[in-house]
Amino acid sequence: MKKKRKILGFKQYIIIFLCIITLNFFIPRLMPGDPFTFLSAEEGQDHTAFSSEDIERHKKYYGLDQPLWQQYISYVRNLLKGDLGYSIHYKEEVLTLVLSRIAWTLSLVIASVLLSAAIGVFLGTISAYYRNSSLDKILYSGLITLSEVPSFIIALVMLFYFAAHLKLFPLSGGMSHFVDFSSRWEMIKDILLHAFLPLMALTITRIGEFYLLARNSMISILDKAYIKTARGKGLKRRRILFYHALRNAIPPIVTRIFLSFGGALGGAVLVENVFNYPGVGRLMRQGVFFRDYPLIQGIFVVMTLFVLVMNYTADAIYKKLDPRVS
C-alpha cells in the first residue's frame, strides 16, 4: 500500500462528471428497443400492445420524436436546472422517484461499509499480531475466499437459510406493511430487522478488503521501533495494538472507506433485487428492463454524483491526514 494515489483537482472532477452524463445519455439509447414497443411479456404476464399511432403519440409526449442531439441538449439544459426528467414507466418525476428510495440504499451502503471496515480492521489487527499462527491462516484464507463471492450470492444463501428456513428474518421488503406499530421504537426495530440480511450480505463481501489492508499496514507498523518501545514499557497488548499501532494505520483505511462506497453501491443494486428491498437498485432494474431512458439517466447521475463526492472526500481527507501528499 505504498503506492501514492494521484490526487485529482476539482476541475478534473467536473470533466469526469460531464463525460459520465454524456455516456449516461447515449448508452441507454444505444440499447435496441424503445419504451413503448411491447410484443411479448414474461411468462404468465399480460402486456398491452400499443398501436403505431399510440407509440407515436407517446414518443411525442415524452419528446422522443426529436433528433438525438436536440434531446441531448435539452437533457443537459434540464439537468443544469436540477430537472432529471419524467419517468416513462413510473409516470412520475425521476427526482421524486430517486429521492424516495435513495435513503434506503444509502443507509445500507454506508452502514455496510462502516461495519465491514470495523470488522475488517479488527480482524486484520488481530491477524497481524498473531502473524503466521493458525488463527491468522484461517482468517486470511477464509476472508479472502468470502470477499471473492459476489454479494448477491451471499444474499441468496442468507435468504434461503435465515429467512426461509430458520424464519429468523423477513423474506423481503424494507419494513412490515399494514401492521400497526405500537411505538416508534417498534417501527425502527422492524426496519432494522428487514435491513439485517441485505446489510450482512453487503458487509461480508467487503470485510476481506479492509482486513487485508489493516493486516498489511499493521504488520509493517508492528515492526517499528516505537512499538517495541511501547512493549518495552510494559503496556498492555490491547493498548499497544488498538491505540499506538492502529492510530498510525488509520489514514489508508479512512481513504479506503470512502473509495469503497462506489463498489458497495454496485453491490447494493444486486442485493436489493434479491430481497425486494425498496432502494434504487430495484428502480434501476425496472428502468433498464423497460428502456425508461430518463429514469436510467437520473439514477446514474445521482449515483455518479455520490461516488464522485466520496472520491473527492477521500482525496481531501487523505491530504489532511498525510501531509506528504500535496
Nearest to 84 by CA among 38, 24, 16, 42: 24
Cell 425521476 locates to 94
Q: Is 29 in the site for other proteins (CB under 8 A)?
A: no
Residue number with CB closer to other proteins (64 or 159)? 159
Q: Is 110 in the site for other proteins (CB under 8 A)?
A: no
Residue number with CB closer to other proteins (22 or 141)? 141
Q: Which of 22, 47, 77, 321 binds other proteins (CB under 8 A)?
A: 47
Residue number with CB closer to other proteins (156 or 235)? 156
- SS3 label, residue 150: coil
Q: Which three cell numbers stand for residue 236?
A: 498492555
Helices (DSSP H) in the chain: which residue ranges?
10-30, 52-61, 68-80, 94-129, 134-148, 151-158, 184-222, 225-232, 237-239, 246-275, 280-289, 293-321
Cell 484461517 locates to 138
CA atoms of 289 and 286, how far apart (whole Å) = 5
Q: Which of 196, 242, 306, 312 binds other proteins (CB under 8 A)?
A: 196
Residue number with CB closer to other proteins (97 or 257)? 97
Residue number with CB closer to other proteins (165 or 233)? 165
Q: Which of 274, 299, 310, 314 binds other proteins (CB under 8 A)?
A: 274
Q: Is 37 in the site for other proteins (CB under 8 A)?
A: yes
CA atoms of 290 and 195, how far apart (whole Å) = 27
Q: Which stretch binds other proteins (CB under 8 A): 164-172, 217-225, 229-237, 248-256?
A: 164-172
CA atoms of 152 and 285, how far apart (whole Å) = 14
- Provide the mask over 201-220, with x wherever binding to other proteins is found by CB under 8 A and - wherever it is not: --xx--x-------------
Q: Which stretch binds other proteins (CB under 8 A): 98-106, 212-220, 252-260, 303-311?
A: 98-106
For other proteins, the binding residues in 134-153 under the rule CB under 8 A are 142, 145-146, 149, 152-153
Residue number with CB closer to other proteins (84 or 314)? 84
| CB 98 within 8 Å of CB 298 | yes
Q: Is 101 in the site for other proteins (CB under 8 A)?
A: yes
Instruction: Give me the count of residues in the chain.
Output: 326
Cell 490526487 locates to 7
Q: Running DSSP on this structure, what letter comes out for residue 82?
A: T
CA atoms of 22 and 273, how far apart (whole Å) = 27
Q: Which stretch binds other proteins (CB under 8 A): 4-12, 173-181, 221-229, 233-241?
A: 173-181
Residue number with CB closer to other proteins (172 or 248)? 172
Q: Is 200 in the site for other proteins (CB under 8 A)?
A: yes
